[in-house]
Structure 1
Amino acid sequence: MALRAKGGLIAAAAAFVLLVAGGLFLHGWYGAGPLANNAAFIVPDHSTLGSVAGQLEQQGAISSASGFRLRARLLGGAKPVKAGEFMLPAHSSPARILAILQGSEVIRRLVAVPEGMPSIMVYERLMAQPLLSGPIPMPAEGSILPNSYDFERGESRAAVLGRMQAAMKKTLADLWKKRGPDTVAKTPEEALVLASIVEKETGKPSERPMVAGLYSNRLRKGMLLQADPTIIYPITQGKPLGRRIRQSEIAAVNDYNTYSMVGLPKGPITNPGKESIAAVLHPAKTEALYMVADGSGGHAFAATLEEHNANVAKWFALRKARGDL
C-alpha cells in the first residue's frame, strides 16, 4: 500500500510538473511580450523565420529568439512571414506578432499628387521621399493621374511612378470611350492637352465644363486660346511664376504660348485630374468665348467682346476697391 501511495504521489507530482511546464510554454506564446511601446518592424525580402526571430529579439519585441522559433513551429501554423513594414503593438504576445507578420497588416504610406501638379513637382516630391528607393526619370507631362498613392518603406520610386502613369493611361482610355459628340478633341492626346489648360485655368470644380466649352468654341472658330498658363509653362515647367507675366513673355513665340499661336500647345502643361478630362470630353453647351475673374474664385463668361469688356471693367473696379491696384 505504501509503495502504491508513493507511486501515486510521484505520478501526481510529474503531472503537476508537466502541467506547469505546459502552462509556462503556452504563456510564453500567448502571454504579453516585453515590447514597451508600439514599434515599426521591417521584414526584408526573402527573410526566414529564424532571421526574423533574431531581429525581434534585438528590438526587444520577444524575450528569446530560440523560444519564439520553437513555439512558432509548434503553435504558429505553416504560413511564411511576409516582407514589408509592420506595426507591432506594445506588449504584443509572440503569437500576435507572428500573426501580424504572416498577415496583410503591412504599414502603407501615401504620396499625394494634387490635380494640376506638373510633372517636375511630382518628380521632386518622389525624389524627396526618404522611404522610397532608386532613381526615376523626369515623367512626361500629363502622364500622371492626380491621386493619393500608397507605398511601402523601401519600395522603388519607379514602381510608384509606374502606378501613377498606369492610372492615367487607364483613366484616359476609359473616359475617351465615353466621350460626347461635342468634344473638339480628335484624339485622347488632344483631350489631355486641352484638359491640362482647363485644369490650370480654374480652381473651381463646377466651372470646368464651362471653361472646356469656352475653349472648345475658340478652337472651332480658329481663335487664339490666349490661356495665361501656356505662357508660364515654358518658363517654369509649370511651377508658379511668382510674379506678373511680362509683355515680352506674352509675345514670345514657342510651342506652348497660345497668345502667339492658333490651336493647342504641343503637349500638356500639367497633369490634369479626371474631372478636367471629363469636362473636355463633355463640354458645356455655351456661346461663351471670353472669361475674366469675377472676384469670387470663379469667372464671368461672355459671348461677345462688348460683354467681356464690361466684365473686365467690373473686375478692375473690384481690384481697385480692394487696394490690389
Structure 2
Amino acid sequence: MWRHVVSNALTLAIVILFLVGGVIVWGTSQYKEGGPLAEAICLQVPSGASMGSVSADLAEQGAVSNARIFRLGADYSEKASQLKAGSFLIEAGASMEQIVDVVTRGGRNTCGTEVVFRVGVTRKQVQVRELDPATNRYVEQARFEPQVEPVDPVYTAALDASDTLIRFAVAEGVTSWTIVEALNNIDFLSGEIAAVPSEGSLAPDSYEISKGQDRNEILADMAARQERILAQAWAERADDVEVETPQEALILASIIEKETAVAEERGQVASVFTNRLKRGMRLQTDPTVIYGITKGEGILGRGLRRSELRAETPWNTYVIPALPPTPIANPGRASIEAALNPESTDLLFFVADGTGGHAFARTLDEHNANVAKWRKIEAERNAN
C-alpha cells in the first residue's frame, strides 16, 4: 500500500514539475516573443509610477498580452526597481522584454511633446511639436518668435506639463553673443552669465535643458562638446593642412561655415582658402569684414560699403594677409572637419551662382566670368 501511495505521489510530483516547467517555458516565450501591438504608441510613465501600474497601462493599450508576465519578467531580470519616468516610444510588435528595456534604460524622452528653442543666425523661434507614434514624425503644434510675437497658449500648456522635453537647438554659424542673448531670454533658466564665451568655442547642436537649470551649465556643456569635436578633428587632420594650431583650425572652420550652407561645398570652400593661405594670398571673404563691424552682436542687415571693404580691421581679410585673430562664429563639426581635411583642388576663387551654391574657378579670368554671371542674375532679380 505504501508503495502505491509513494508511487502516486512521485507521479504527481513529476506531473506538477512538468506543468511548472511548461508554464515557465510558455511564460518565457510570451515575455521574449513579439508583442500584439499593431501600431506604435507613446507610453507616458509619470513620476512615482510602479511597474504594476505601467503593466496595467500597457495591457489596456494592447501592448502586452499578459500584465502579470510583464511584471514577473521585470522582477526576474531585476529591472523592476529601475523604472524611469518619461515618455517612451513603444514600437509595433515590441516584446515585453524590449518594453522593459525601454522604460528602464533611462536617457531622454523618445516621444511625446517637445518645446524647442531654436537659435538661428538671423532669428530665434520657439516650436512646440509632438511625435506621432504611428508615423514616427513630429507634428508641429505651435511656433512663434519670442520677444516679437505673443506667447502661444499651446507653449504655456506644454511647458507646464511634467513630461514635456525641452530643447535648446543652436544652428551652425551662430555667434556666442547670440547664444548668450537667447539663453538670457529663457525666463525659466537660472544663473547670470558673467561674460560671453570665446567666439567659436560653443558647439552648435541640440541640447536637452530643464526648468531652473543654470545657464552657465548649458554653456559649459556646449564648450565641452566643441572641445571634443575639435580635438578629434585635429587628431585626424590631413598632413598638408595650412593651419598650425587647433585655434587656427577653428578660425578657418568658422569662415567656411559662414561662406556656404551647402554641405557638399564645404570641402571645396576649404580647399580655396587652404590654397590661398599656401600662396600667401588674402582670403578676401565678406563674412570676416562683417564680423569686424558687428563683433558678432546681431546681424549687419545691409550690404557692405566700399569704404568698409577698404577699412583696416583685424578681421578684414581684404586687407590683412592671413587669418583673422578669432573665429567669426561657432562652426559645426562638418566645417571643422572640412578645414582640417580640405578637398585636394587647385581652386582659388568662388562666387554665388544664383542657386544657393557657388561657382568655383581656378583662374582670375574664370572667376571674373562667374562674377559677371552673378551680377546679371542680381540685376534681373532687382528688376523684378
TM-score (norm 1): 0.67
Residues 208 and 279 in structure 1, CA contact (< 8 A), matched pair in contact too: yes
Point out which structure has higher relative CO (alpha carbons under 8 A, 6+ apart): 1
Q: Gaps spanning 5+ residues in structure 1: where?
A: 1-38, 44-78, 88-99
Once superposed, which parts of structure 1, at least 4 consecutive aligned residues long, lie more than 3 Å away?
79-82, 103-108
The match for 1:199 is 257
Sort the Cα spacing of 1:190 and 1:324 in 2 relative to 1 into closer, same or farther, 3 A. farther
Match of 1:248 among 307, 312, 318: 307
Sort the Cα spacing of 1:81 and 1:275 in 2 relative to 1 into closer, same or farther, 3 A. closer
The match for 1:113 is 170
Residues 141-152 of structure 1: matches in 2 within 5 Å?
A: 141-152=199-210
Match of 2:227 among 169, 176, 186: 169
The match for 1:229 is 287
Residues 294 and 300 in structure 1, CA contact (< 8 A), matched pair in contact too: yes
Tell me the C-alpha RMSD between the 2 structures. 2.7
Residues 251 and 259 in structure 1, CA contact (< 8 A), matched pair in contact too: yes
The match for 2:246 is 188
Are 2:267 and 1:209 aligned? yes
Q: 1-side partners of 2:82 and 2:360: how far apart?
A: 63
Are 2:170 and 1:131 aligned? no
Sort the Cα spacing of 1:254 and 1:154 in 2 relative to 1 into closer, same or farther, 3 A. same
SS at 2:168's partner residue? Answer: strand
Residues 118 and 237 in structure 1, CA contact (< 8 A), matched pair in contact too: no
SS at 1:323's partner residue? Answer: helix
Tell me the CA shift for residue 240 of structure 1. 2.2
Q: 2-side partners of 1:306 and 1:206: how far apart?
A: 25
Q: Gaps spanning 5+ residues in structure 2: where?
A: 1-43, 49-80, 88-102, 110-162
Residues 64-83 of structure 1: matches in 2 within 5 Å?
A: none
The match for 1:74 is none
Are 2:276 and 1:276 aligned? no
Tell me which amino acid in the other structure corresponds to 1:126: L
Residues 302 and 308 in structure 1, CA contact (< 8 A), matched pair in contact too: yes
TM-score (norm 2): 0.57
Are 2:318 and 1:259 aligned? yes
Sort the Cα spacing of 1:308 and 1:133 in 2 relative to 1 into closer, same or farther, 3 A. same
SS at 1:300's partner residue? Answer: strand
Q: 2-side partners of 1:295 and 1:80: how far apart?
A: 56
SS at 1:258's partner residue? Answer: coil
Residues 86-125 of structure 1: matches in 2 within 5 Å?
A: 107-125=164-182
Tell me which amino acid in the other structure corresponds to 2:299: P
Q: 2-side partners of 1:126 and 1:220: how far apart?
A: 40
Tell me the CA shift for residue 182 of structure 1. 3.0
Q: Which structure has the larger Rg? A: 1
